[in-house]
Amino acid sequence: MFTDVSKDRWSYKDIERLANAGLMSGYPDGTFKPEQNISREELASVVSRLTFKMCLLDGILQPLLPAVFTLYRGDGGIGTGFFITETGYLITAKHVVENEKYFTAIEDTNYKCHLVATSPTEDIALLKVDRTVPNHFTICQGDIDETLYRGKHIAIIGSPHGYDDSVTQGVISAPRRESFPGAGTLGAFQTDAAINPGNSGGPAIDGNGHVVGIAVWKFTGVDNMGFCVRYDQIRVFCRQNGVEV
């Protein structure tokens, strides 16, 4: 865990529990400095993460909702997507855009968008609108094993059955699962946050409002067993297509 916290220290188990839950963190040099006073800045960070775990999303959602939209296909099918750059690049699930080239993204403003690329291995698609956009998401950074862990609280935004700006919350059950049955690659995480038809392509966010995944599928007939393609797969895919995120 931390280099300066010995296992025989009276506070070791409490520190380990809170650190594993993402409610406390150490310093960049790998130390924790258990006897050092906590700063107001550190306290704000801890309380912010705690309130998110308590399902308090005030101050996080409102700035983000305009960057999420319902994506309408030409044949009447729907999904969800979200902007990732101010220049109009947006992400959705590949199965939402299959066999179509042009789409309408509807939020407060309607956008005509076109398909740029789809991932050959993951359920991800990149689209583009030919204008700048007012809001966009930040893709999470950091090591997967430290950022995504069992019990981490997340929220998913989408348009299940066309009900836009619907938000569900849950925890990550496993950070490495197949993106779809038989995929052979472990590019997704499992969550109990509800995912329903129309949610596909929507962002899964953490307590900072950063994207940690894309909602892609759920087990039909099984409650609270959904899957999201992880943010590391999103980042690689975007960079392969010339979009820095």
Catalytic residue among 25, 45, 95, 164: 95
Q: Kindly state the percentage of the chain with pLDDT values over 90.
A: 62
The rounded distance, in Å, linking the Cα atoms of 208 and 10 is 31
DSSP code per residue over 190-209? EE-S---TT-TTPEEE-TTS
**Mean pLDDT, residues 26-33 taken together:** 89
| Residues of the domain holding 103 | 63-136
CB 15 within 8 A of CB 34: yes
Which pLDDT does position 157 carry in this prediction?
97
Final residue in a domain of this structure, among 92, 116, 136:
136
Which pLDDT does position 213 carry in this prediction?
98
- In the annotation, is 8 catalytic? no
Residues 84 and 121 occupy one common structural domain: yes
DSSP H/E element including 96: helix 94-97
Residues 68 and 85 occupy one common structural domain: yes
Please, is 79 exposed, middle or buried when counting C-beta atoms within 10 Å of its C-beta (0-12, 13-18, 19+)? buried
Residues 148 and 231 occupy one common structural domain: yes
Residues 112 and 184 occupy one common structural domain: no
Residues 126 and 161 occupy one common structural domain: no
Q: In the numeric block, which tokens belong to residue 91?
A: 């992400």
Residue 33 lies in a domain: no
Q: In the numeric block, which tokens belong to residue 171?
A: 């925890």
Q: Please report which confidence band the pLDDT of residue 76 belongs to, taking 50, 70 and 90 as the band edges.
A: confident
Residue 123 lies in a domain: yes
Task: Of 103-117, 127-141, 176-190, give the range with the top mean pLDDT.
Answer: 127-141
CB 188 within 8 A of CB 204: no
Residue 95 lies in a domain: yes
Q: In the numeric block, which tokens belong to residue 95?
A: 């199965």
Residue 55 lies in a domain: no
Final residue in a domain of this structure, among 114, 136, 158:
136
Residue 39 lies in a domain: no
Residues 148 and 78 occupy one common structural domain: no
Tell whether the model's pLDDT for residue 54 goes beyond 80: no
Tell whether the model's pLDDT for residue 55 goes beyond 80: no
Residues 193 and 216 occupy one common structural domain: yes
The rounded distance, in Å, linking the Cα atoms of 216 and 227 is 6
Which pLDDT does position 138 carry in this prediction?
96
- In the annotation, is 200 catalytic? yes
Residue 17 lies in a domain: no
Supply the mean pLDDT for the chain: 91
Length of the chain: 245
CB 217 within 8 A of CB 124: no
The rounded distance, in Å, linking the Cα atoms of 11 and 19 is 12
CATH code of the domain containing 180: 2.40.10.10
Residues 198 and 122 occupy one common structural domain: no
Tell whether the model's pLDDT for residue 100 goes beyond 90: no
Catalytic residue among 119, 159, 179, 200: 200
Residues 109 and 132 occupy one common structural domain: yes
Final residue in a domain of this structure, among 136, 157, 179:
136
Q: How many CB atoms lie within 10 A of CB 122?
A: 23
Q: ∠ at Cα 31 (26, 32), nearest 5°? A: 50
Q: pLDDT digits over 123-178, tens only?
A: 999 999 999 998 999 999 989 988 999 989 999 999 999 999 999 999 999 999 99
The pTM of this model reads 0.83
Residue 80 lies in a domain: yes
Residue 102 lies in a domain: yes
Number of domains in the chain: 2
Which residue in 69, 235, 47, 230 sits closest to 138, CA to CA?
A: 235
